[in-house]
Amino acid sequence: MRMRPSLRFAVVLALLLGLLVPTTLVLLYDAQRTRRIALDDLRRDLARTTEVMALSLAEPVWQVSPDLAEPMIKAQFDDPRFVSVLVKEPATAEPFQQHSRRQAPDEQDLTLAETRAVMRDGRQIASLTVEMSAAPLLEIKHAEMLRTVWRSLATLTFSLVLILAVMQRRVLRPMTQLTQAAEALAAGQLDKPLNLGGSDEIARVGSAMERMRCSLLEAFEALRLHANTLEDQVEQRTVELTSANDDLLQALGHLKTAQHELVESEKLASLGRLVAGVAHELNTPLGNSLTVVSSLEDRYRRLEEMLNNSTPMRRSLLEELVRDTRRGQDILQRNVQKAADLVRDFKQVAIDQTTDLRREFDLAQVVEDVLVMVEPSFKHTPYLIKEALSKGIMMNSYPGSLGQVLTNLLINALVHGFEGCKSGEVEVRCERLSITEVELSISDNGIGMDESVRRRIFDPFFTTKLGTGGSGLGMHIVHNIVTHVLGGQIEVFSSPGNGARMVIRMPCVAPQRSTTSDVLG
């Protein structure tokens, strides 16, 4: 029942828009065109009339006979376009003749004026100013346009009545019957036949709906015959889908477990490399300390023997012992302090990378701590690490995740970036981009990489060292830590022979993270 008013409204609206809009546009165009033509005609008539009047008024002005000029001027005012006529002699302040009629305020834009000299024997004896208005002519044109509008409205009204009557009989009434039949079919009332007279398009739609009603009756009958078989098939498929779903859930659980174990193994591998490097670095200060202690122990044992044997001791011997003791103490203190610093830095890095707690830290300090742990891996190689760190950049983020990213990038540069190079440098740089964002870059002057490797460098399980111990997860974990944990972005710039540059842009305050398993994406 809602189709009839909506269809009728659409037809009425289409007619209104189809007739009124073009008519309105044409009328507006005609109004502007009529105004322009009227002003052009007025300009020509004004020039011609002014010229004729200037010639006609030459004799009355020369004879100083206003009474002779007045009938000529008044005769012009029979034309409703005339607004004013002013004849003025140069020698007098008073006008020779002046006639005008009252103007409406809206006529000012339609009024034109022209001034011409009144000549006698080649000499100007007066000036003639004539003002004419196009308003009377435009009023006639507007009246014609108004009659055109009324004729258009009458035509539109007649068309609307005629079209709505035809629609009511040939469209709306059959559509109502079709709607009622469709609602009956939707309600399951298939026992009511649909019969529409005629052979037009709507009647053919009604015949198609009747055939559909008969087909539905046959289909429902067939469905009733196969209902039991269908229920058995549905039950069987449900059991199969349930079993498959359980298998998928179990496989998904295994996959998540494997992902978590891969992340943890990569962390432990990184931490293992740090342990090996720190242990190697501790050998030197601890070995020096052990040597000093052994030497001092030997000197004190000899002193103890001399005391036990009551051997006379010279002053120079005691002074030498004191000097050696102080020198040994100084060496021992420096080496023990160096070992303590290494253990402290390693402890902080290890705590950050194993617990991965969020805390406030100085970016440069965390980078320096990580470099201390990674430098042993570079110590016996021809490759150097340079740093250019801006101090005082405070962050509220995850230093453990940041340290793992930096460690992976440095080891990646060592293993892949300098392959076949006799020397090389890795530069680590950090700086503040804005009050809320920092940039950390790691660049090397190694062999670089081609575009195919650069595009896939963050893909999981992609490695150029396949079969030689590379897991292909290092750079993938770096990308996911930077984007998912630190809330930043990482870009790679490289070309063959020109080294590689990894640029990390991240916020000073990291976003809240959900779970650690997100690292693998």
* Strands across the sheet containing 489-494: 383-389, 424-432, 437-444, 500-507, 489-494
The confidence band for 275, taking pLDDT boundaries of 50, 70 and 90, is low
The confidence band for 166, taking pLDDT boundaries of 50, 70 and 90, is confident
Handedness of CA 215, 221, 224, 225 (dihedral sign): negative
Query: Of 110, 129, 157, at which residue does a domain stop?
Result: 157
Query: Of 157, 192, 221, at which residue does a domain stop?
Result: 157
In whole angstroms, what is the distance from residue 24 CA to residue 37 CA?
20
- Summarize pLDDT for 351-388 with one digit per residue, the tens: 545 556 788 999 999 999 888 878 888 888 899 999 99
Asked whether residue 57 is domain-assigned, the answer is yes
373 and 484 part of one domain: yes
Residue-averaged pLDDT of the chain: 77
Q: What is the pLDDT of residue 87?
A: 83
In whole angstroms, what is the distance from residue 318 CA to residue 303 CA?
9
Residue 509: other Cβ atoms inside 10 A: 14
143 and 15 part of one domain: yes
In whole angstroms, what is the distance from residue 351 CA to residue 366 CA?
12
Which is more confidently placed, 181 or 368?
368
Question: Is the confidence at residue 123, as pLDDT, over 70?
Answer: yes
In whole angstroms, what is the distance from residue 87 CA to residue 76 CA?
14
For the ranges 118-122, 167-171, 500-504, which has the lowest average pLDDT?
167-171
Q: What percent of the chain has pLDDT over 90?
A: 12
Alpha carbon distances (Å) from 216 to 178, 188, 190, 355, 493: 17, 10, 8, 67, 66
Which is more confidently placed, 42 or 471?
42
Asked whether residue 334 is domain-assigned, the answer is yes
Q: What is the pLDDT of residue 489?
A: 93
The confidence band for 290, taking pLDDT boundaries of 50, 70 and 90, is confident
Question: Is the confidence at residue 434, as pLDDT, over 90?
Answer: yes
102 and 76 part of one domain: yes
DSSP run (H or E) holding 272: helix 227-308
In whole angstroms, what is the distance from residue 361 CA to residue 438 CA?
13
318 and 365 part of one domain: no
**What is the mean predicted confidence (pLDDT) over 112-137?**
82
344 and 371 part of one domain: no
Handedness of CA 159, 165, 166, 168 (dihedral sign): positive
Q: What is the pLDDT of residue 50?
A: 82
385 and 337 part of one domain: no
394 and 342 part of one domain: no
Q: How many domains does the chain have?
A: 3
Q: Domain range holding 151?
A: 7-157
Give φ, ψ of 491 to 5 degrees: -125, 150
The confidence band for 345, taking pLDDT boundaries of 50, 70 and 90, is low
Asked whether residue 71 is domain-assigned, the answer is yes
**What is the mean predicted confidence (pLDDT) over 443-472?**
78
Alpha carbon distances (Å) from 493 to 77, 375, 482, 501: 89, 24, 17, 5
Question: Is the confidence at residue 23, as pLDDT, over 80?
Answer: no
Residue 307: other Cβ atoms inside 10 A: 10
Out of 108-117, 139-148, 166-175, 399-408, the most confident range is 399-408
Question: Is the confidence at residue 171, as pLDDT, over 90?
Answer: no
Asked whether residue 240 is domain-assigned, the answer is yes
Contact 472, 415 (CB under 8 A): no
Question: Is the confidence at residue 101, as pLDDT, over 50?
Answer: yes
Assign residue 496 a region (left: φ > 0; alpha: ψ between -120 and 50; beta: otherwise).
beta
Question: Is the confidence at residue 306, as pLDDT, over 50?
Answer: yes
Q: What is the pLDDT of residue 195?
A: 65
Tokens 């002699």 locate to 89
Residue 288: other Cβ atoms inside 10 A: 17
Question: Is the confidence at residue 488, as pLDDT, over 50?
Answer: yes
Which is more confidently placed, 270 or 150?
150
Which is more confidently placed, 316 or 427?
427
Cα angle 258, 262, 263; round to 5: 120
Query: Of 134, 157, 180, at which residue does a domain stop?
Result: 157
Q: What is the pLDDT of residue 199?
A: 64
Q: What percent of the chain has pLDDT over 70?
A: 75
In whole angstroms, what is the distance from residue 86 CA to residue 77 CA?
13
Which is more confidently placed, 224 or 346?
224
50 and 151 part of one domain: yes
93 and 15 part of one domain: yes
Asked whether residue 418 is domain-assigned, the answer is yes
Q: Which residues does 338 contact at the CB level (< 8 Å), separation at least 6?
A: 285
Which is more confidently placed, 463 or 271?
463
405 and 345 part of one domain: no
Question: Is the confidence at residue 395, as pLDDT, over 70?
Answer: yes
370 and 456 part of one domain: yes
The residue length of the chain stands at: 521
Cα angle 226, 227, 229; round to 5: 65
Asked whether residue 214 is domain-assigned, the answer is no
In whole angstroms, what is the distance from residue 109 CA to residue 239 CA?
89
Asked whether residue 447 is domain-assigned, the answer is yes
Residue 6: other Cβ atoms inside 10 A: 9
Q: What is the pLDDT of residue 427?
A: 94
Contact 373, 281 (CB under 8 A): no
Asked whether residue 470 is domain-assigned, the answer is yes
Q: What is the pLDDT of residue 458?
A: 84
374 and 392 part of one domain: yes
Contact 203, 174 (CB under 8 A): yes
Tokens representing 100? Answer: 């005008």
End-to-end, the C-alpha distance of the chain in Å comes to: 55
Question: Is the confidence at residue 282, as pLDDT, over 80?
Answer: no
User: pTM score, two decimals?
Assistant: 0.41
Q: Which 8-state DSSP code applies to residue 509? A: B
Assign residue 198 a region (left: φ > 0; alpha: ψ between -120 and 50; beta: otherwise).
left
